[in-house]
Structure 1
Amino acid sequence: MKKPIRTRASALAMILAGLLAAGPALAEVEIAPDNGKLLYTGRIDFSRPAAPVLSWPGTQIAANFTGSSLAIELDDQNGQNYFNVFIDGEQKAPLVLQAEKGVKRYQVAQGLAPGAHSFLLTKRTEGAEGATVFRGLALADGGALLPPPSRPKHRIEFFGDSITSGAGNEAPFNGRDDLPADKNSYMAYAQIAARQLGAEAHVTSQGGIGVMISWFPFTMPDFYDQLSAVGDNDSRWDFSRWTPEVVVINLMQNDSWLIGRDHKLQPEPDENARIEAYRTFVRRIRQLYPKAYIVCALGSMDATRPGSPWPGYVMAAVERMRKDDGDKRIDTLFFEFTGYGQHPRVRQHQENAAKLAAFIRARMGW
């Protein structure tokens, strides 16, 4: 018996029937960066609303959504930035993204159960690693954004150096701590304390920076007002956009090395000049935030070792502001040097965060 001959027309009909039986093709749902249901935190450059730029450590994007999958599209400047992605509030096991240079889509969740989900993207690294443009999200077919998470009740801004950025905090205790992969601003004392206090945090920090001198040609007085954290630049942050209730300043560690130890700043400032340089910067912050409670902190590296003069400079500057300016909403707090010679690790950040959170609760009644 001969087999029936399939004509071209009958073959096409069978293919079409198969496609119809399979149902409509699935299509991802694209979410643009300017969608009003996305919650942004930090100094983010929105000069192009459809392409916001994240550069500061700890800048965040959060949302609630439905759908079985989630992808994030980033355009990274140098391929050196790292991000945390938390799905459904799972704090202990973030997905860590190493951003590749250029535009790339990262699949961060698949096979999610039906119903509502949440995500949080946080920049682990600093402006030193470059900027990243957020290009949007992609949800599974039928997915949608839900109303955004609520903003925390309180606001704290941190001005600091590598300690505040969390440099090396995830490195081994006996290993090098200068790798971007081991830098996690989310687990630095600043953001840990902010979460404990129910506060939104802006982290204005850069490893190696000082008040009078840095390991590079600009200092915090040059840097603190920038919109972009990528080096010394002419961008300007609009301070009226976001006003903190508390400001924490943790600076002078690098000054203590470069001036007190290495004598790199010549002519070398005497004690009064060191006090006045610090006071001048704190006064700038006071002018910006007349009602904020300012905490002048230092530590927990060796600038607070026993016998160090640097905590004394901070205390003297604060006392002068109290006496000369009548500033009653300012205080000092020092994180003890543990004898560990490298950047604080997560355990030490947790201890310092607990101390800072307790201090702010006592002063602010939170």
Structure 2
Amino acid sequence: MKNLAYSLVLAALLHLAPAGAANQIAADHPHLAYTGRVDMADAKAPVLSWPGTSIAANFTGTSLAIVLDDQNGKNYFNVFVDGDTTRPVILQLEKGSKTYLVANGLAPGAHRFLLTKRTEGEEGATVFKGIELDDEATLALPPPRPKRRIEFFGDSITSGMGNEAPDDGRDDLGKDKNNYQSYASIAARQLGAEAHITSQSGIGVMISWFPFTMPDFYDQLNAVGDNDSRWDFKRWTPDVVVVNLMQNDSWLIGRDHKLQPEPTDAQRIAAYQAFVARVRALYPKAYIVCALGSMDATRAGSVWPGYVTSAVANLRASGDARIDTLFFPFTGYGQHPRVKQHQANADLLTAFVRTKMGWTGAE
């Protein structure tokens, strides 16, 4: 974003300033709206670890401070005040508990904020410890939740790795990762849908750049590494599920031959099909979109779209009619997609879902 450097500096300075807020609002206040897989075991200290997890509220007063306790000091968050998505305050968190003053000198009256996690589980988890408002200020009823729901299972593309990096620069820095501007989050907003982003950079179906795969990871409540936490799938059921995996498999198996003995074509199809079948078992009524791209797994001549197509054909043959494929074309750009590519992919996905679901507008 054009205002990235300014916003980072602003956030770094603001958290050092005295908040000047006298009214402390605890994290378990009923007018705080949480979205995503948020660990609410301690309602006064909920844990945000997945990319795109968010907190929204309507408030009164002239200032807003947010209290966050970050695990590693590596996470970044957006804060949008009064719906201004062009100029977020970007919080570069420090390790430990800090109070970040994100708005001051607002006009008296009603306001709203949205806090979203830009980064993902590999940067660690963040405990939300509440907000601070002006003396006598209050929270109003939270914004209404969208009626539509969409969940994404994916890798770095879905997380938004490097999407705000320079086109000709490195794209593995936390500051340049912004899930809010990933194709997944953009498409969800365009569709008027609440999104859950279940993704991890470097993850695959059969092999990853670390010792666990999506079949090990997809059911966790906490996104920090491979752990024993468990998400209760009954808490939230999507209308649409998008699976965008196999990019890392294509590199680690097809290019680098890291998985030995190397799986056959049939085994690659079966592994992908088995994971999608798990998703179907969780969500019997959802429309499943088996996507791939837009990195080089969808380049001309790639065998990987064929594996996805074959798996979907097998599932359809077994009686699953609410499933299809969608491939985001490889444009020749060799690094992680930047925001402009994410927007193009979001437009394709939005049009596809609208056609399949009959969704019009953004509710």
Q: TM-score, normalised by structure 2?
A: 0.93
> Which residue of 2 is the match for residue 41 of structure 1?
35
Q: Distance in 2 between matches of 1:114 and 1:99?
A: 28
Displacement, 1:153? 1.8
Displacement, 1:51? 0.3
3-state SS in 1 of match to 2:180: helix
Q: How does 1:186-205 map to 2 (within 5 A)?
A: 186-205=180-199
Structure 1: state its 5+ residue gaps: 1-25
* Letter matched to residue 331 of structure 2: T
> Which residue of 1 is the match for residue 91 of structure 2?
97
Q: Distance in 2 between matches of 1:360 and 1:229?
A: 27
Q: How does 1:296-307 map to 2 (within 5 A)?
A: 296-307=290-301
> Which residue of 1 is the match for residue 135 of structure 2?
141
> Which residue of 2 is the match for residue 285 of structure 1?
279
- The equivalent position to 2:70 in structure 1, one of 68, 73, 76, is 76
- RMSD over equivalenced CA pairs, Å: 0.6
- CA 27–77 in structure 1, closer or farther in 2 if over 3 Å, else same: closer
> Which residue of 2 is the match for residue 275 of structure 1?
269
* Letter matched to residue 361 of structure 1: R
Query: Where do 4+ consecutive residues of structure 1 move more than 6 Å?
Result: none
Give CA deviations for 1:118-140 in whole Å, capped at 9, x if unaligned: 00000000000000000000001
> Which residue of 1 is the match for residue 7 of structure 2?
none
Q: How does 1:1-366 map to 2 (within 5 A)?
A: 28-323=22-317, 325-366=318-359
Q: Pick the structure with greater CA Rg.
A: 1
Give CA deviations for 1:321-350 in whole Å, capped at 9, x if unaligned: 011x20000000000000000000000000
Q: Distance in 1 between matches of 2:347 and 2:22?
A: 43
* Letter matched to residue 68 of structure 1: T
- CA 27–330 in structure 1, closer or farther in 2 if over 3 Å, else same: closer
Q: Distance in 2 between matches of 1:65 and 1:235?
A: 33
Displacement, 1:27? 5.9
Q: Distance in 1 between matches of 2:22 and 2:266?
A: 63
Q: Distance in 2 between matches of 1:128 and 1:251?
A: 18
Displacement, 1:28? 1.1
Contact kept in structure 1, 2:21 and 2:132, CA below 8 Å: no
3-state SS in 2 of match to 1:322: helix
Structure 2: state its 5+ residue gaps: 1-19
> Which residue of 1 is the match for residue 4 of structure 2?
none
Q: What is the aligned-residue identity percentage?
A: 74
Q: Distance in 1 between matches of 2:103 and 2:87?
A: 13
Q: Distance in 2 between matches of 1:338 and 1:150?
A: 38
3-state SS in 2 of match to 1:44: coil
Give CA deviations for 1:234-282 in whole Å, capped at 9, x if unaligned: 0000000000000000000000000000000000001000000000000
* Letter matched to residue 278 of structure 2: R
Give CA deviations for 1:27-48 in whole Å, capped at 9, x if unaligned: 6111000000000000000000
- CA 90–310 in structure 1, closer or farther in 2 if over 3 Å, else same: same
3-state SS in 2 of match to 1:181: helix
* Letter matched to residue 340 of structure 1: Y
